[in-house]
Amino acid sequence: MNVLLGLAMVLASCAIGFLLSGGHLMALFQPFELLILLGSAIGAMVMANPLAVTLKSFKAMGGLIKPSPYTKTLYLDLLALLFDLFNKMRREGMLAVEADIDDPSASPLFTKYPSVEKIHGSIEFIVDYLRVMMIGSIAGHELEALIDAELETHHAEAHLVPAAINKVAEGLPGFGIVAAVMGIVITMGSLGGPPEELGHHVGAALVGTFLGILMSYGIFGPIGGMIEHKVREEAKVFECIKASLIATLNGAAPQISIEFGRKVLFHDVRPTYAEVDERVRQK
């Protein structure tokens, strides 16, 4: 929602300032300049990135209008799920959760927390490392190294999308100059015509430069920055799971293990100790 609000503020401030200065909004409506800009930028993006990254970029931009799933409620459910798993392992032995991790979709532990299942890859992450722990003969530092290797790959892959969008933002002012030069070429072909016609062509050319800079710093640049924030928020889910898993492997009690996970969360979504304690006690 804040993306739409910010976009509305950017466009409204430009439009209102232009109108108050005596301008006419229709003078800024230059669809051919916009075609040159967007077409060139998208084409460059397609050339510069694998198709999968390009498609993920469009999907990520569309997903910004949805509210963030990384809320305090999600983390309460995640910590409660981990507590239930660790508590069962502590009381009944490591093999007690084998059926749960073999088929999480049929497990009463996992299905009790549908919000966690909506975070792509979270359940698979938990299940994979519980299997590693069940095999045995792995120390805490070895498990941490293994998880870090996966998270490093995951983070590198996740940053491909905002990097691609930021490259588009960097290139848009240049494409605005291209559109302006093409407009000047058209203007030169109209020399000797009525002054109104020349003024229209020059204005259209300048709009190309204006749109290139506006879309770079007012639209695509902020969108790339917002997606980077989403990537960091997603990473915290896996860091929370990692800290909790390592703590329980090292012999910590379930309540202490999830406390390790709680401590790595950002403050604005981190539940208090009392909130976590109340959540895990719910039937």
205 band by pLDDT with thresholds 50, 70 and 90: confident
Residues contacting 70, CB < 8 A, separation 6+: 233, 234, 236, 237, 269
Is the CA virtual torsion 85, 88, 90, 93 positive or negative? negative
Tens of pLDDT, residues 138-182: 888 899 999 999 999 999 999 999 999 999 999 999 999 998 888
CA dist 124 and 142 (Å) reads: 19
Tens of pLDDT, residues 31-57: 888 899 999 999 999 999 999 999 999
- Is residue 154 exposed (0-12), middle (13-18) or buried (19+ Cβ within 10 Å)? middle
CA dist 246 and 132 (Å) reads: 12
Sorted by where each begins, the domain ranges of the chain are 31-283
Asked if residue 133 lies in contact with residue 143, where contact means CB atoms within 8 angstroms, the answer is yes
Helix H or strand E encompassing 201: helix 195-215
Name the CA dihedral angle for 159, 125, 116, 82, rounded to a multiple of 10 degrees: -130
What does pTM read for this prediction? 0.86
Tens of pLDDT, residues 61-74: 988 888 889 999 99
Taking residues 179-198, what's their average pLDDT? 80
